[in-house]
Structure 1
Amino acid sequence: MITEDATRSIEQIFEQAAGSRLCPRGYAAVEVTQIDMARHREMLQPHALVLTISSLTFRLLFVLHYADDEATRACYLGTDRDQPLSDVLMELVNLCCGSMNQQLVVHFPDLGMSTPYALSSRCIDFIGELKPDHVWAYELRAGEAARLGVTLCVCAKAAVDFTAGDMAEQGEGELELF
């Protein structure tokens, strides 16, 4: 079970992290808009990058949906077309989830984070199999043409209740060794 305070806190943590960490070079922020799942499914892009943040009490699944099209490539790669778009987006997803992890570890000191991996966006058709306690859908816009989608899913193993409170902007993140 996840409380309303925890739900709002996860939204707040994600929106701050996504707004600042999923930006292409040259952008100050991306526009982050929460949308309903029906609209999210209609707008689903073909590719997905998945990352999990896990604790002893919950698992948060982060799915970034994107199209490997000219508009997204131009926005996120700019003139550096030597790198695959998926590599650039994996790096940004890792930064975004790392920022979320830094905020969550204050309340859940036992957190672990996976590395991003690629799947089809249709993977969210099976999200119900996880028996989630809460699912969010977001649209992210960088510029006029580039559009990303994000699905967040929390599966609780025990009661999840916390309040994020004031969140200070963090640095780029540090490498953690275990």
Structure 2
Amino acid sequence: MISDHAKESFDRIFRKAAHARLPADGADTCEIALTEEAVTPDASRTSQVVVLTISSIVCRLLLILHFDEDDATRQYYLKEGDERPFREAFLEICNLCCGAMNQELLRYFPDLGMSTPYVLNARCLPYLQELEPGLLSSYSVTLNGTARLGATICVCAHAPVDFVADVSAIEETSGELELF
């Protein structure tokens, strides 16, 4: 069981991480809106998803970022002169976003582990219901008015989860490498 306080906390933690890590530049806008696909995420909006997992003894959180490798998204994340493949650059951003969530969650769950990102076809999204999540929330994310992503937070609890996250503290980090 996931309490209402914990559900609100997961939402605040995601929003803080997304605002901090999904924009390519700190001056870019990042608009996040809860979408109606919270019950059954719409795989028709995007063709691919990046899945990252944060696991603890009491729960498992899946951060799923939906994307299309369209011109707007490619141009947003690959700046002039960037020779990296789009997927490499985008997976790095996704990993940073999940890492920011992991850092916040460590305040409440000291035993966390985080996976490396992997890409799946978006047609797998309806199967999230098979995990019997205690929380399933979907968001639309618009970056600088041009790049559009989706995000889904799926939390499965193995024990009661109840916490209130204080995300008001501002912490400056610059991509540290965390070893497990």
TM over 0.5: yes
1:65 alignment partner in structure 2: 66
- Shift of residue 110, structure 1, vs aligned partner: 0.3
Equivalent position SS for 2:69: coil
- Shift of residue 26, structure 1, vs aligned partner: 6.2
Alignment CA distance shift 1:46-1:81 (3 Å): farther
Task: Report how many residues are paired.
Answer: 178
TM-score, normalised with respect to structure 2:
0.92
Report if the CA contact (8 A) 2:76-2:147 is conserved.
yes
1:3 matched to 2:10? The reply is no
Letter in 1 for 2:110: P
Report if the CA contact (8 A) 1:98-1:173 is conserved.
no
Once the two structures are superposed, what CA deviation does each residue of 1:5-36 show, in whole Å capped at 9, x if it has no partner?
A: 00000000000110110012364341111111
Farther off after superposition, 165-174 or 52-61: 165-174
- Shift of residue 174, structure 1, vs aligned partner: 2.5
Q: Give the superposed CA RMSD.
A: 1.8
1:35 alignment partner in structure 2: 35
How is 1:116-155 mapped onto 2 (pairs within 5 angstroms)? 116-155=117-156
Report if the CA contact (8 A) 1:64-1:149 is conserved.
yes
Once the two structures are superposed, what CA deviation does each residue of 1:111-133 show, in whole Å capped at 9, x if it has no partner?
A: 00000011111111210111111
TM-score, normalised with respect to structure 1:
0.93
Aligned-partner Cα distance in 1 for 2:124–2:73: 21
How is 1:64-83 mapped onto 2 (pairs within 5 angstroms)? 64-80=65-81, 82-83=83-84
- Percent identity at matched positions? 44
Farther off after superposition, 23-32 or 97-106: 23-32
Q: Which runs of 5+ in 2 are unaligned?
A: none
Letter in 1 for 2:37: M
- Shift of residue 76, structure 1, vs aligned partner: 1.1
Once the two structures are superposed, what CA deviation does each residue of 1:46-71 show, in whole Å capped at 9, x if it has no partner?
A: 01111000000000001111111111
- Shift of residue 166, structure 1, vs aligned partner: 4.1
- Shift of residue 86, structure 1, vs aligned partner: 1.5
- Shift of residue 173, structure 1, vs aligned partner: 4.2
